[in-house]
Amino acid sequence: MQQPRTTPVMNMSFHEEGFNQDPFPMLEEIRRAGPIVYNEQLDRWMVTAYPHVSRVLGDSSHYAQGASEAFVDFFGGTTMETIDEPERHNAMRGIWAADFQRGSLEGQRALVERVVADQLDPFVERLRSGETVDAVADLTRSIPTLVIASMLGIETAMFAQFSAWSDAMGAITEGALDPTEKGMETVMAGRQATAELNAYIAAQVADRRAHPSDDLIGKMVAAPFAQTQMSEVEIIASNTQLVFAGNETTAKLMAHTLVSLAAHPDQRRMLAGDRSLVLPAIEEVHRSETITQFIDRDVREEVELAGVRLAPGAVVTPLQGAANRDPERWDRPGDFDITRAARQHLGFGFGLHSCIGLNLARLEVQVWLDRLLDLLPEYHITEEVDYGPNFQLRGPFAVFMAA
């Protein structure tokens, strides 16, 4: 697509080696170029300013979720994540919406506390014994997976297999960016895990029809909308997508939290002494680091954005990580400050496709961080943190910790 002559052009790739280690200087360079910048190399319109990014994310009439076909292929069927038609999307989302409201989730606090204790306590003991341990592999990935497995009604004997499936699915996003044979093997293993999880969920769906239950699978099976308006593959894919979403982003938020607090020990000590700052600290980590850095949007019908007319078929890249550091919205946006006044950020998305599990993620990270500060208020990271190649879902690839 040919851009207007007045529109800034910047050619760069999000997948260049080393880019994901610290993408924020480049994001600031894009911001300085203009409110909307054309990337000729990727044929994308990059947007960094908070008002414009939130507008793109919130306007489902002009912008469609990008790569919807890839999502459908990944999960094996249509999910709410791939539906831009508000009525159908909201009806599907509404099946579980009440279960993920803040008040309802208080009923899950005991479950979250139990899962956190079971995973965190032995991890801390290993550190105290002198081991150096990767917190990503041995801690943060397991907690959200086990919580969502319990809420779905998965039997305890399947938890280890469930975690293995979830980890393999999460690795697909890394493997897809690795051009080597190892990357292809990672993707194939993830696809196999998704197929096996789908088959397992299918059996669970059949079981809930025969034996109604109050878990998340049972609620979807019993929902009138699902019974009359959703196909079997949509029901199965929706549950599988919940597993992936519940694991990947929350695990990365925990890992980012470890790194951010290790890098700012004064604020970590402040936090250990004043637990009222736990939730603000989590929001500040998510604002400053941002897991979902972007999800492309396809222009559905002609629209104007930041003074540029975009034709149908154009692809817009709303850079959520850049928007979360917009100096027009936050003072000193590049600084990490857990006492920062609360303002809505875009870490959990915005509009129709905002994260249904955002309150669950906050609860899990809050319980985990509180207990970590109780058991191990002082820790350190022993190696430079590797963020891998995945800029779209950015998070530490490994975090090696010691007491």
Domain membership flag for residue 58:
yes
293 pLDDT higher than 60: yes
Alpha-carbon dihedral sign for residues 342, 360, 290, 274? positive
**Does residue 25 or residue 1 have the better pLDDT?**
25
3-state secondary structure of 39: strand
What's the pLDDT at 106? 93
Q: CA-CA distance, 375 to 390, in Å (whole number)?
A: 32
Residue 114, both tokens? 């139990």
SS percent in the chain: helix, strand, coil, step 5: 60, 10, 35
Domain membership flag for residue 7:
no
Domain membership flag for residue 33:
yes
What's the pLDDT at 68? 59
Percentage of the chain surpassing pLDDT 90? 72
3 pLDDT higher than 60: no
What are the tens digits of pLDDT across the range 79-110? 888 888 889 989 999 999 999 999 999 999 99
Does an H or E element contain 380, and which?
Answer: strand 380-381
What's the pLDDT at 186? 82
Average pLDDT over the chain reads 91
- What number is the average pLDDT over the span 126-150? 94
Nearest Cα to Cα of residue 37 among 25, 49, 50: 49
Domain membership flag for residue 284:
yes
Query: Can you give the CATH number for the domain in which 353 is found?
Result: 1.10.630.10
Total tally of structural domains belonging to the chain = 1
Domain that residue 88 falls in: 19-402
What are the tens digits of pLDDT across the range 167-218? 788 777 766 666 778 878 888 888 899 899 999 999 999 999 999 999 999 9
Query: How far is CA 393 from each of CA 37, 187, 289, 321, rounded to the nearest angstrom?
Result: 22, 16, 11, 11
Domain membership flag for residue 338:
yes
What's the pLDDT at 69? 67
Domain membership flag for residue 266:
yes
What's the pLDDT at 55? 95
Domain membership flag for residue 13:
no
What's the pLDDT at 66? 67
Residue 282 CB neighbours (<10 A): 24
Residue 313, both tokens? 């078929």
What's the pLDDT at 71? 66
What's the pLDDT at 168? 83
Domain membership flag for residue 310:
yes
What are the tens digits of pLDDT across the range 358-400? 999 999 999 999 999 999 999 999 999 999 888 988 999 999 9
